[in-house]
Amino acid sequence: MNIKGIRGFKDLLPGEVEKWQYVEAQARRVFGLFGFAELRIPILERTELFTRSIGEATDIVGKEMYTFLDRDGDSLTLRPEATASMMRVHLEHGLFIKEPVAKYYFIGPMFRYERPQKGRTRQFHQIDAEIFGVQDARADAEILAMLMRYLRTLGIKNLSLQINSLGCPTCRTPYKEEIKNFLLSKRESLCEDCQRRLETNPLRIFDCKKETCQDLLTEAPVVLDYLCPDCREHFEQVKSLLQDLNLSFSLNPRMVRGLDYYTRTAFEVVAGELGAQNAVTGGGRYDGLAEELGGPPIPGIGFAIGIERLVLLLTEKQHFFKHPEVFLATLGQKAQKKGFTLAQDLRDGGVWAELDLEGKSLKGQMRKADKMRSPYVIILGEEELNRNRAILRNMATKNQEEVPLEEIAGRIIDRTKGTGDVGQMADKNER
Ligand code: HAM
């Protein structure tokens, strides 16, 4: 076959997919504890939605969007993130009227034309959560508490939460002037992109990956020192609430996030072992976004977790690699027939039952049961069948017992009830 997949667009195969199912199921469970409802948004949006919200001067809008004209000549874009779309949905459907305070989450693919590398793809996936309608610092602390609880649930260690405050337009305008003045004398040493950024949005210079530009910024003023009294008070409250919740964090005054809509609290969760692409989550407050999109003033705060990066950090394999609860091994045609219907009875009882469909020998079937790590095997042989019996083998202890045929399904169903439930395993993990 010579048609290949597209660079930066990955196929997910069995063996990997289980990890994704696990992290998605856990997100639904943990976010449910905080009352978040799922939103499903389209993959395509009008380009304007992103240029207006993320900002023209950002790398995402300037270099990374998959934008094209459709057959009607409308400019459409494959969504590079979910926050703007979620706010659009909230406004367009008047949800804010019924639910002035709304908590939504979303899971799905995003698209950015970036250079693929470890932890960075062109189609990537996010788990995104947003709270709309609350300005109070408790919303900031609540969303961070949910995020950190979720990551803890997955058993991921060595993560660090970094926070900053980016202020509001009132405090940011003089700050932008300040940073511009600071860099004007060094203009010639900035890269071409940053020279442009100096005019359009000097804050974006902090996003530059070039070492020379970053070096110039080491002495630069930071926005934290320019916060107005209201923004300062808000940030103090956020920090104090995080301390009340025993959530450790560090201040990163140089973190500006790569999207223009942020105001006040901004944060990232970084994992050292991810290498260059170390941010597993990014988020923050965006109190001006709703108005930017033509709606009433609706404050908001949220985060997005990159699933590709998240699964790279998973270590506790036992939580996502599942195995059949019982394997049916049969010898002879009569037994094969019986095994076939018995498997259905077991599934009726909620048990994952596997059986051989290839006509393997009994030895071959036992080998397969072992390979699939099934804890029990029901062996149906002709001789046992004639006596209305089956053999139940415990694969760990190698113990075998004869069980009357009419009891065998019930026995397995009773034994396996309550196991394999993702929710219960995660609870154990969280404690
Ligand atoms: P972001 O920082 O652009 O924020 O992306 C969030 C996360 O998505 C990153 O921390 C990373 O884990 C993942 N990510 C981003 N780009 C890629 C890529 N090319 N390949 C793999 N993973 C990637 C946002 O998108 C905001 N909408 C977050 C937010 C929600 N702010 C408020 N609410």
Range of the domain at 378: 326-423
Residue 324 corresponds to which tokens in the numbers above? 């059949």
Answer whether residue 204 is part of any domain.
no
Answer whether residue 7 is part of any domain.
no
pLDDT-above-70 percentage for the chain: 96
Residue 186 corresponds to which tokens in the numbers above? 């060094």
**Residue of 213, 214, 202, 200 whose CA lies nearest to 178:** 202
Instruction: For the chain, report the end-to-end CA distance as a whole number of angstroms.
Output: 49
Is the domain of 293 the same as that of 364? no
Is the domain of 23 the same as that of 72? yes
Ligand 1, atom 18: nearest CA belongs to which residue?
A: 120
Is the domain of 257 the same as that of 396? no
Answer whether residue 295 is part of any domain.
yes
Mutational test site, ligand 1, from 125, 259, 287, max ligand atoms within 8 Å of CB = 259
pLDDT of residue 321: 76
Is the domain of 122 the same as that of 87? yes
Is the domain of 304 the same as that of 367? no
Is the domain of 256 the same as that of 111? yes
Mean pLDDT of the chain: 93
**Residue of 382, 387, 379, 388 whose CA lies nearest to 356:** 379
**Predicted TM-score (pTM) above 0.85:** yes
Is the domain of 383 the same as that of 272? no
Is the domain of 22 the same as that of 104? yes
Compute CA distances 193 → 190, 213, 271, whole Å: 8, 10, 28
Determine the distance separating the centroid of ligand 1 and the alpha carbon of 282, expressed in angstroms. 6
Is the domain of 303 the same as that of 348? no
C-alpha 365/C-alpha 360 separation (Å) is 6
Answer whether residue 12 is part of any domain.
no
Structural domain tally of the chain?
2
Is the domain of 270 the same as that of 375? no
DSSP label at residue 60: I
Answer whether residue 383 is part of any domain.
yes
Mutational test site, ligand 1, from 111, 114, 126, max ligand atoms within 8 Å of CB = 126
Answer whether residue 197 is part of any domain.
no
Listed in sequence order, the residues at least 6 apart from 193 whose beta carbon sits closer than 8 Å to its beta carbon are 208
CATH number, domain containing residue 133: 3.30.930.10
Is the domain of 376 the same as that of 289? no
Q: Is the pLDDT of residue 419 over 60?
A: no
pLDDT band (50, 70, 90) for residue 318: low
Is the domain of 351 the same as that of 378? yes
**Residue of 359, 374, 366, 357 whose CA lies nearest to 329:** 366
CATH number, domain containing residue 383: 3.40.50.800
* pLDDT tens per residue, range 125-153: 999 999 999 999 999 999 999 999 999 99
pLDDT of residue 424: 33
C-alpha 158/C-alpha 335 separation (Å) is 53
The last residue of a domain, from among 260, 278, 313: 313
Who lines ligand 1 at CB under 6 A?
81-83, 112, 114, 119-121, 124, 126, 128, 130, 258-259, 279-284, 302-304, 306, 308-309
